[in-house]
């Protein structure tokens, strides 16, 4: 290993590297590229947080790595468990910001919903996270560490099989970090999740949908929420830049392996987009696509103007889609008793911190 000319440097996060990047970094010091795979397997598959535990590396190399790299992890600030089995994690980032992840029980396995940004800049009118605006993008390591933290918390880590980018933020607005995180999540020397079990949800940044299909293999979900541009413009400001026609065109170009579909998420809001005529328009709109539809009854939160439709309205909307031979699933919200709507736990934590700061100023 070559010697450095300077004694002052800031340790880098080993989780910020892909295998190729880590191999290049090691190569600067004359270390064989294959060591990158060894190091990453220790980190992601054996779950170690200290280079001293990497026993198939020489003592000198372990010391060298310990002096120049760190293995990051998130600080878990709060964990809440719902009566329906959902578990919500509030993580504190190194700069004091907060993000959320939600562990969702499924028959025989768990699905983890992760965040890609602190806050969100898309401004969707029905979304609590969007009301606070975008604070910043997450680093790839902060995305990956959500999976690591939750996996480490499970009695059987192998029971975590599905990852969905449906938490805080717009994944395609943090494109490079998200793609790098996906590469590690699905990589042979990374977390080894099947690409068939990783889903990315977007509000419809059409050019990035094309990029995503080229750069990684994942399932695509589109948060549509309306079947006409006028309604979608009112709910989702991004539609003025990327209208429905542009989004659906990108979806048609998205590479779909045999028997896979594009998932369209549709938040049902009383009196806004829940009429049978809306369902008919949606059925016609998606006809050219291999589409599956997730119907999500709106989950009210304090201060919102929107309301959840009645159960009869929800079922009537679904029936129209079923009659048109779509797979249309009603996804009932989980974790209602722990505030599992995206952003609720974070909002509560930040409100508490704000009150504490104000109290300190008064004292």
Q: How many domains does the chain have?
A: 2
Domain membership of residue 306 (yes or no) is yes
Instruction: Looking at the structure, tell me whether residues 92 and 210 fall in a common domain.
Output: yes
Q: Active site residue: 2, 342, 350, 362, which one?
A: 342
Ordered alpha helix ranges (H), 254-343? 276-285, 311-323
Q: Which residues contact 146 (CB under 8 A, 6 or more apart)?
A: 74, 89, 91, 99, 101, 112, 114, 115
Residue 357 has pLDDT above 60, yes or no: no
Domain membership of residue 168 (yes or no) is yes
* Spatial distance between the Cα atoms of 65 and 36, rounded to a whole number of angstroms: 11
* Spatial distance between the Cα atoms of 24 and 18, rounded to a whole number of angstroms: 10
Report the interhelical angle of 244-253 vs 206-215 (nearest 10°). 10
Instruction: Looking at the structure, tell me whether residues 147 and 284 fall in a common domain.
Output: yes
Residue 69 has pLDDT above 60, yes or no: yes
Q: Could you give the C-alpha distances from 336 to 106, 279, 298, in angstroms and in order?
A: 17, 26, 12
Instruction: Looking at the structure, tell me whether residues 150 and 118 fall in a common domain.
Output: yes
| Edge-first strand listing for the sheet containing 219-223 | 75-81, 87-92, 98-106, 109-113, 160-165, 198-202, 219-223, 262-268, 291-297, 327-330
**pLDDT confidence band for 259 (50 / 70 / 90):** confident
Domain membership of residue 357 (yes or no) is no
User: For position 335, what pLDDT does the model report?
Assistant: 61
Cβ atoms of 48 and 42 closer than 8 Å:
yes
Instruction: Looking at the structure, tell me whether residues 191 and 300 fall in a common domain.
Output: yes
- Helices first, then strands: H and E counts in the chain: 12, 14
Residue 311 a catalytic site member = no
**pLDDT confidence band for 351 (50 / 70 / 90):** very low
Please give the DSSP secondary-structure letter assigned to residue 32: -
Domain membership of residue 7 (yes or no) is no
Instruction: Looking at the structure, tell me whether residues 144 and 24 fall in a common domain.
Output: no
Residue 356 has pLDDT above 70, yes or no: no
User: For position 358, what pLDDT does the model report?
Assistant: 43
Cβ atoms of 347 and 128 closer than 8 Å:
yes
Range of the domain at 135: 75-332
Domain membership of residue 167 (yes or no) is yes
Mean of pLDDT values over 298-317: 95
Mean of pLDDT values over 172-197: 97
Q: Active site residue: 20, 67, 100, 142, which one?
A: 100
Instruction: Looking at the structure, tell me whether residues 242 and 107 fall in a common domain.
Output: yes
* Spatial distance between the Cα atoms of 97 and 115, rounded to a whole number of angstroms: 13
Instruction: Looking at the structure, tell me whether residues 134 and 35 fall in a common domain.
Output: no
Instruction: Looking at the structure, tell me whether residues 39 and 120 fall in a common domain.
Output: no
Which of 70, 85, 117 corresponds to the end of one domain? Answer: 70
Cβ atoms of 54 and 39 closer than 8 Å:
yes
Domain membership of residue 358 (yes or no) is no
**pLDDT confidence band for 353 (50 / 70 / 90):** very low
* Spatial distance between the Cα atoms of 184 and 22, rounded to a whole number of angstroms: 12
Mean of pLDDT values over 65-78: 97
Instruction: Looking at the structure, tell me whether residues 181 and 317 fall in a common domain.
Output: yes
Q: Could you give the C-alpha distances from 350 to 132, 337, 355, in angstroms and in order?
A: 11, 19, 9
Quick: pLDDT tens for 106-129: 999 999 999 999 999 999 999 988
In this structure, the strands spanning 87-92 and 327-330 are unpaired
Instruction: Looking at the structure, tell me whether residues 155 and 135 fall in a common domain.
Output: yes
Instruction: Looking at the structure, tell me whether residues 23 and 143 fall in a common domain.
Output: no
* Spatial distance between the Cα atoms of 20 and 242, rounded to a whole number of angstroms: 34
Instruction: Check which CATH number belongs to the domain holding 28 and give it.
Output: 1.10.150.530
**pLDDT confidence band for 257 (50 / 70 / 90):** confident
Which of 199, 233, 210, 171 shows the shortest CA–CA distance to 331?
199
Domain membership of residue 339 (yes or no) is no
Residue 106 a catalytic site member = no
Cβ atoms of 114 and 167 closer than 8 Å:
yes
Domain membership of residue 355 (yes or no) is no
- Tokens found for residue 236: 């989702």
Instruction: Check which CATH number belongs to the domain holding 167 and give it.
Output: 3.20.20.70
* Spatial distance between the Cα atoms of 65 and 38, rounded to a whole number of angstroms: 13
Instruction: Looking at the structure, tell me whether residues 63 and 83 fall in a common domain.
Output: no
């Amino acid at each position: 290993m070559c010697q450095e000319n300077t004694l002052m440097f800031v340790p880098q996060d080993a989780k910020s590297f892909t295998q190729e990047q880590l191999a290049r970094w090691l190569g600067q010091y004359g270390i064989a590229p294959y060591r990158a795979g060894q190091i990453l397997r220790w980190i992601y598959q054996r779950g170690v947080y200290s280079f001293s535990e990497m026993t198939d590396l020489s003592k000198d190399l372990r010391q060298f790595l310990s002096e120049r790299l760190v293995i990051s992890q998130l600080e878990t600030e709060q964990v809440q468990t719902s009566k329906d089995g959902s578990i919500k994690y509030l993580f504190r980032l190194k700069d004091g910001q907060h993000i959320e992840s939600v562990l969702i029980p499924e028959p025989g396995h768990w699905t983890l919903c992760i965040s890609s940004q602190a806050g969100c800049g898309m401004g969707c009118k029905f979304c609590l996270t969007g009301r606070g605006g975008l604070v910043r993008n997450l680093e790839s390591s902060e995305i990956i560490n959500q999976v690591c933290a939750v996996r480490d918390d499970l009695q059987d880590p192998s029971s975590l099989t599905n990852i969905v980018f449906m938490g805080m933020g717009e994944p395609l607005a943090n494109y490079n970090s998200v793609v790098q995180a996906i590469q590690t999540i699905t990589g042979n020397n990374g977390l080894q999740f099947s690409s068939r079990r990783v889903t990315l949800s977007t509000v419809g940044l059409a050019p990035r949908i094309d990029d995503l299909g080229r750069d990684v293999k994942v399932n695509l979900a589109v948060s549509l929420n309306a079947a006409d541009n006028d309604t979608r413009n009112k709910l989702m400001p991004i539609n003025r830049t990327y209208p429905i026609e542009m989004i659906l065109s990108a979806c048609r170009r998205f590479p779909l392996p045999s028997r896979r579909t594009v998932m369209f998420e549709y938040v049902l809001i009383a009196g806004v987009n829940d009429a049978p005529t809306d369902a008919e328009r949606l059925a016609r709109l998606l006809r050219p696509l291999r589409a599956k539809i997730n119907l999500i009854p709106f989950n009210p939160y304090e201060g919102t103007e929107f309301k959840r439709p009645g159960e009869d309205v929800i079922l009537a909307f679904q029936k129209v889609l079923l009659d048109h031979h779509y797979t249309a699933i009603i996804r009932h919200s989980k974790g209602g008793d722990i505030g599992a709507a995206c952003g609720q736990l974070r909002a509560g934590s930040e409100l508490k911190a704000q009150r504490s700061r104000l109290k300190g100023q008064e004292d």
